Amino acid sequence: MCGIVGMIGNRPVARLLVESLKRLEYRGYDSAGVATLVDGALHRRRAAGKLFALETALEAKPLAGDIGIGHTRWATHGPPTVENAHPHVAGKVSVVHNGIIENHQEIRTELVALEIHPESQTDTEIVALLLNKLLDDGATPEEAMRQVMARVTGAFAFVVMMEDCPSTLFAARRASPLAIGYGEGEMFVGSDALALAPLTRRISYLDDGDWAIISADGARVFDHHGAEVERAVTLSAVSGALIGKGNYRHFMEKEMHEHPEAAGYTLFHYNHPSNGGLAMPEMPFDPATLPKLTIVAAGTSSFSGMIAKYWFESLARLPVEVDIASEFRYRDTVLPEGGAAMFISQSGESLDTLMALRHAREQDQHILAIVNVPESTMAREADVVLPTLAGPEIGVASTKAFTGQLVALACLALDWAEKRGTVTPERSAGILKALEHLPVQMAEVLEREHDLVPICHDLSHARDVLYLGRGTSFPIALEGALKLKEISYIHAEGYAAGEMKHGPIALIEDGVPVVIVAPSDQWFEKAISNVTEAMARGGRVVLLSDSDGIARMGNDATWAFEMPDCDPFVAPILYALPVQLISYHTALEKGTDVDQPRNLAKSVTVE
Ligand code: F6R
């Protein structure tokens, strides 16, 4: 998604803006630009493609100026060309923007009728043109900002710089996140704390509908009624030192190698040895009498929810419904009085999930959020936050945050099962032990990562790949297929193995790879009989199982990757690793842009 930065102070900002934009690269983008004010006049450089193209443009024609704004654009309205890249300039006004202005077409028509013609196809330029028109009509900058905020609809964040105000930046937010950073005699604004990490850790977050006037010595914030308000300044947990690839080729590779830490730290957070058992956050309801849990998320995070459904149902005997956020938010959902709704998100900012959270809030549900970014909007809006301690995730494809989510969910399912009296102390202790053992077993899988390389070499020539699993391995099959599609661009489908004969089996012909996720669990026998059906039709089977499963399968699979023996309850957490690693090594074979796959954004803050 688009990334925004702005700075105002007493030193040249162009290079700092680009450095901040680099820390927002993980969000995904396809063009970039910066603008500064020099002696009260706007200057900008823009480039299509990656940031080095912008750096080249800046080397050729450097930009001076102690005040500036910058942007990485993920194209929504109009292709990723220089003309559509931000900052957009209209007369004396320059704007960078993230999100979507829903009524831009209507405003565009009005402006054109007044002979004001946009140069780009973007919704952003409409904001710049509107502001400039209001200034031309005699409005003060503050009045113009107020009027624009009242006029535009949609989910957005933007930062504005005006020639008439050489010592001021204006920032506004509705639904899309925006953070203000406080320095010494200089101020910053950015899409998240990560963008501002090396510059300052003193951060305040604008609330929905807020807009702000930022000068070198501070910020004045106004809420959606126009009243001046205080927004707390907190010390961000994000540190600039954390953000680097180290010795890894890609952030995704580094982050997969952080699975053991993500799982370990998250478990430690909920099951600290000094507590003598699970210590989950206090709930505003009694889990023993909860009628239903609704879990909502998007993409990989929704697969965590699907796995959790198996856990809550089997262990805590709790009815659970899982939905994807983009559907849930527009459905006429029937939610029980006193029910709980849980939202799972790495970023805590995915717009669909955030809107689904608000939809559930309107229906009087208790709101729980599982997030990896503690300062995110979802974390701030939830009644109860269950953090995952996976650390910043920069690669666009979510990896370690997924296992962090699963560990948090496993702890919660276990805790509620204890409170509902549906689990024996022995089983509870067994599951905790299996969870505690996970980081070591994850490290074992990562040590044998290279055994997957020949398999991935094979897969990289495939046109279609089928992923199958039953029970809690079904969402892992979905995760494997999603990741392969995302970063290697190979068409892949994940299916519940039992569904194969109801349709997808028609896809299997000589040489089609079928990855089967099959730990030795209660579903193993059935999963294997589905595999033999695939093999009988010429499918090339990649079996992910433990030593017992591989022995039971005999030599029938084309490839087998041996996983450590584990309690079936925690198997989906461990089996997330080989499916993610397979997608990574297949993408390496294909030479794709692993960390920033085409068309994708890290945090999807538009609909
Ligand atoms: C897949 C992936 C996406 C995200 C999805 C939700 O590799 O990264 O499918 O899982 O966009 O994002 P969050 O969890 O930030 O809400």
In tens, the pLDDT along 367-391 reads 999 999 888 899 999 999 999 988 8
Between strands 218-222 and 179-182, the pairing is unpaired
Question: If you average pLDDT over residues 220-235, what whole number do you get?
Answer: 91
The pLDDT value recorded for residue 599 is: 79
**Whether residue 305 is found in the same domain as residue 376:** yes
**Helix or strand run (H / E) with residue 169:** strand 169-174
In this predicted structure, the answer to whether residue 3 has a pLDDT above a threshold of 50 is: yes
Query: Which tokens belong to 256?
Result: 């997969």
- 71 CA from centroid of ligand 1 (Å): 22
Residues 605 and 607: their CA atoms lie apart, in Å, by: 7
The whole-number pLDDT of residue 241 equals 47
For the segment 288-315, the average pLDDT, to the nearest whole number, is: 97
Neighbours of 555 (CB within 10 A): 7
Residue given tokens 């100026």 in the structure block: 65
Q: Any idea how long the chain is?
A: 607
Amino acid identity for residue 293 in this structure: L
β partners of residue 34: 45, 70
The pLDDT assigned to 177 comes to 79
Residue 244 lies in a domain: no
Looking at the fold, whether 277 and 382 belong to one and the same domain comes out as yes
Averaged pLDDT for residues 122-149 = 94
pLDDT in tens, 160-199: 999 999 999 999 998 777 999 999 999 999 988 888 888 9
The answer to whether residue 47 scores a pLDDT higher than 70 is yes
Establish whether residue 399 lines the binding site of ligand 1, counting it when its CB lies within 6 angstroms of any ligand atom: no
User: Does 120 fall in a domain?
Assistant: yes
The more confidently predicted of residues 596 and 210 is 210
pLDDT at residue 238 in the model: 65
- Supply the residue whose CA is at minimum distance from atom 16 of ligand 1: 345
C-beta 347 within 6 A of ligand 1: yes
Query: Are 209 and 189 in the same domain?
Result: yes
Q: What Cα–Cα distance (Å) separates residue 592 from each residue in 281, 373, 478, 492?
A: 42, 28, 21, 16
Give the residue, by CA position, lying nearest to ligand 1 atom 5: 299
* Residue after which a domain boundary falls, among 447, 474, 508: 447
Is residue 485 situated within a structural domain? Answer: yes
At residue 545, does pLDDT exceed 90? yes
CATH of the domain at 527: 3.40.50.10490
Asked if 73 and 29 touch (Cβ cutoff 8 Å), the reply is: yes
Same domain, residue pair 353 and 215: no
Instruction: Judge whether residue 336 has pLDDT over 60.
Output: yes
* Shared domain check, 534 and 498: yes
Lowest pLDDT segment from 246-255, 349-358, 492-501:
246-255
- Per-residue pLDDT reduced to its tens digit, 470-499: 999 999 999 999 999 999 999 999 999 999
Instruction: Report, as an integer, the average pLDDT of 512-527.
Output: 92
Average pLDDT over residues 236-248: 65
Co-location of 171 and 135 in the same domain? yes
- Average pLDDT (401-427) is 97
Q: Is the CB of 299 under 6 A from ligand 1?
A: yes
| pLDDT confidence of residue 39 | 92
Mean pLDDT of 443-465: 95
Active-site residue flag, 566: no
Same domain (yes/no): 304, 351: yes
Does the Cβ of 353 fall within 6 Å of ligand 1? Answer: yes
Q: Which domain holds residue 292?
A: 250-447
* Strand ranges of the sheet holding 366-371, from the earlier edge strand across to the other edge: 320-324, 293-297, 340-345, 366-371, 384-387
Q: How many domains does the chain have?
A: 3
Is 2 among the catalytic positions? yes
Residue 585 CA: distances (Å) to CA of 252, 253, 466, 560, 588: 11, 9, 17, 16, 5
Q: What is the DSSP letter of 330?
A: T
Q: Is the pLDDT of residue 240 over 60?
A: no
Task: Check residue 155 and give its pLDDT.
Answer: 77
Same domain, 485 and 391: no
326 sits in the region (left: phi over 0; alpha: psi -120 to 50; else beta) called: alpha
Quick one: average pLDDT of 8-17?
A: 94
Long-range pairs for 49-55 at CB < 8 Å and ≥24 separation? 49/80, 51/18, 51/21, 51/22, 51/25, 54/18, 54/21, 55/18
CA distance to 60, 173, 207, 348, 401, per residue, from 388 (Å): 44, 26, 23, 11, 7
**What is the chain's mean pLDDT, rounded?**
92
Tell me which residue has tokens 């907190």: 234
| Model confidence at 445: pLDDT above 70 | yes
| More confident position, 435 or 558 | 435
Ligand 1 atom, smallest distance to 353 CA: 16
